[in-house]
Amino acid sequence: MLEQETITAIADELAAAEKARETIPLLTARYPDMTVEDSYAVQNEWRRRGIEAGRRPVGRKIGLTSKVMQAATGITEPDYGAIFADMVFENGSVIEHGRFSNVRIEVELAFVLRDSLAGPDVTVFDVLRATEYVVPALEILSSRIEMAGRTIVDTISDNAAMGGMVYGGNPVAVDAVDLRWVSALLYRNETIEESGVAAAVLNHPANGVAWLANKLAQHGDKLDPGDIVLAGSFTRPMWVHPGDTVTADYRDLGAITCRFV
């Protein structure tokens, strides 16, 4: 494990990069012995500071749960990050592009929990029982660490590249639709760029939530009632630029739209 002062120094760098809307050099190039546990320690320090500063935690995001996302990033295992209330946007929002770095969009399902989920040994059935409803969501990726050559250690330290999320469409109960077959068409400026089916997330998007609950247990944490969980993308990330309008059509589950300025 890295020394605590090194973890604190990395968290300082990332906080400064987020404030300045810049990127920092790869952590793995500077700390070649840095481990996944070190990177979660950095993320946890970032999250702790946010809570201390008055930011309200509302859930977690799961990343790299689908083959298409693993192929797009070259990273082969899932990760997770934190979501604060000020990172959540309503359907139809106009969003400041410059608030983020290396801005990309992913298509996901968000699980909103009625009950807590505490690992180990959480299963997909536990997740379905604990979920109040599922709603379409877009994740806004923002990388505060340079992207070329990143490993999962860099990504986790950077709060799993979480920038924000947009929710919309029709909330549904888990037994109202076969969640594996939820599909979406992703448009940028009225041109379709990506499409996907939710089964790409570990064969069932609820499996992503189960993975998260069990991973959190390894870090002495759990999911709480009311938490929002972004279950993982089932499309490749799509780059967006100032002036772009993004629309995701989930058919029966409705649509999400947002515009970047």
Q: Kindly report, residue by residue over 201-237, the tens digit of the pLDDT.
A: 999 999 999 999 999 999 999 999 999 999 999 999 9
Fold of 4-260: Fumarylacetoacetate hydrolase; domain 2 (3.90.850)
Q: What integer pLDDT is reported at residue 73 of this predicted model?
A: 64
pLDDT at 64 over 90: no
Q: What integer pLDDT is reported at residue 75 of this predicted model?
A: 67
Q: What integer pLDDT is reported at residue 1 of this predicted model?
A: 81
For the ranges 6-10, 95-99, 147-151, which has the lowest average pLDDT? 147-151
pLDDT at 5 over 70: yes
Extract the tokens encoding 118: 């505490």
- The pLDDT mean for the chain works out to 94
Q: What integer pLDDT is reported at residue 74 of this predicted model?
A: 66
Tell me the angle at which helices 36-52 and 4-20 cross, rounded to the nearest 10 degrees.
60
Give the burial class of 197: count Cβ atoms within 10 A of its Cβ; 0-12 exposed, 13-18 middle, 19 or more buried.
middle
Contact 27, 7 (CB under 8 A): no
pLDDT average, residue stretch 127-135: 98
Contact 166, 93 (CB under 8 A): yes
pTM to 2 decimals?
0.94
Q: What integer pLDDT is reported at residue 251 of this predicted model?
A: 96
- Domain extents for the chain? 4-260
